[in-house]
Amino acid sequence: MNIKHYKKELMLAVGILIIAGILFFANQIIFSKPAKNAVISVDGEVVKTLNLNKDADMTITGYSGGTNRIIVKNGEIQVSEASCPDKVCVHQGWVKHTGENIVCLPNHMIVQIVGD
């Protein structure tokens, strides 16, 4: 192979790295906003909006009567118990950053952290 071929590959790799860096920093800026609320939806419909600065403990009824126990404490939120078989939503733990989500597919429930 000739040098021109390597030059093109090197320029492509550098271009990809620059774009990746720009996207990374844009992502950091967008999601560094302080989280204010958690929006809980079941089957795509908002059922509750919670202020993350107020502690709360509640049960959300999801699809086919499935339930998720949601706890808000110290500006964070988690699903502590769920009636679903796999408990992926419970294992996601505490979330607090704008843009983070907790999803329970069997109960069709989503907790989305939002800023202003």
Q: Are strands 45-51 and 37-42 parallel, antiparallel or unpaired?
A: antiparallel
Strand partners, 40: 48, 111
Note the pLDDT of residue 74: 92
The stretches of the chain forming alpha helices (DSSP H) are 3-30, 88-91
pTM: 0.71
Question: Of 102 and 7, which is predicted with more confidence?
Answer: 102
Strand partners, 67: 61
Q: End-to-end alpha-carbon separation of the chain, Å? A: 55
The string of pLDDT tens digits covering residues 7-56 is 888 899 999 999 999 998 887 777 666 678 999 999 999 999 999 999 99
Question: Of 1 and 55, which is predicted with more confidence?
Answer: 55
Buried b (16+ CB within 10 A) or exposed e, 33-65: eebbbbebbbeeeeeeebebeeeeeeebebeee
